[in-house]
Amino acid sequence: MRKGEIKRKTNETEIEVSLNLDGTGAYDIDTGIGFLDHMLEQLARHSLMDIRLRVKGDLHIDMHHSTEDAGIAMGQALREALGDKRGIARYASAYLPMDEALTRAAIDISGRPYLVWKVDFTGPKIGEMDTELFREWFQAFAQNAHITLHVENLYGDNNHHIVESCYKALARALRAAAEIDPRAADAIPSTKGTLGEADG
């Protein structure tokens, strides 16, 4: 089993996360932010990663630190679970429709962190959560997982559908990219023989 566990404590948040790449999509998530919990549950279910996440944050200030730091810790746990990335497919993409919304996610488990985020919202909030915070989560996750991630909402009207399609598209792309390729199960998927920060 490819697993990662991270404990992270700052003056703003205290986080524990455990992640199993070869799971069944089970989840036990409590960030203190209901809508973020809902999105991360979708990520677990559709990637087939098992995720347990606990976040205690300074929600009396706002949701920014809890959201960003959850992305940091989850990215670090994913990077730990991936290990040397031996045998993975590495690249994948997914188109995810949700009613009127369609989002594309493309991923390279490259060792080089980069996010391209082309997602616009028509309102400042979904429920109590600021829509600008979703980019913060994706940025923190990609940077700390050391993956290249492109997320683009192609069209959509309902903000809930738009962001949910982003998380589900990430889930499906990540699931495919992290799968072990039976034709190259013992190989690093790079001509350089390694996937680090400057490799590819």
Whether the Cβ atoms of residue 109 and residue 82 lie closer than 8 Å to each other = yes
In Å, how far are 19, 65, 69 from 11, measured between CA atoms? 24, 10, 12
Whether residue 96 lies inside any domain: the answer is yes
How far is Cα 152 from Cα 166, in angstroms, rounded to an integer?
Answer: 8
Higher-confidence residue of 198 and 101: namely 101
Q: How far apart are the first and last CA of the chain?
A: 25
Pairing verdict, β 50-57 and 101-108: unpaired
Higher-confidence residue of 69 and 195: namely 69
What's the Rg (C-alpha) of the chain? 16
Cα–Cα nearest to 173, from 194, 200, 152: 152
Number of domains in the chain: 1
Whether residue 24 lies inside any domain: the answer is yes
Whether residue 60 lies inside any domain: the answer is yes
Note the pLDDT of residue 192. 58
Sheet holding 3-9, edge to edge: 3-9, 13-20, 50-57, 27-30
Confidence grade of residue 1 (pLDDT, cut at 50, 70, 90) = confident
Pairing verdict, β 125-126 and 129-130: antiparallel
Per residue in 62-73, pLDDT (tens digit) is 999 999 999 999
127, two tokens? 């429920």
Whether residue 186 lies inside any domain: the answer is no
Per residue in 114-172, pLDDT (tens digit) is 999 999 999 999 999 999 999 999 999 999 999 999 999 999 999 999 999 999 999 99
Whether residue 41 lies inside any domain: the answer is yes
Domain with residue 24: its CATH number is: 3.30.230.40
Whether the Cβ atoms of residue 74 and residue 167 lie closer than 8 Å to each other = no
**pTM here?**
0.93
Query: Which domain covers residue 91, as residue numbers?
Result: 3-178
Whether residue 184 lies inside any domain: the answer is no
Average confidence (pLDDT) over 103-113? 97
Whether residue 143 lies inside any domain: the answer is yes
Using DSSP, state whether 139 is helix, strand or coil.
helix
Per residue in 21-54, pLDDT (tens digit) is 999 999 999 999 999 999 999 999 999 999 999 9
Q: Does the structure show a pLDDT above 90 at 194?
A: no
Whether residue 200 lies inside any domain: the answer is no
In the beta sheet, which residues pair with residue 101?
A: 98
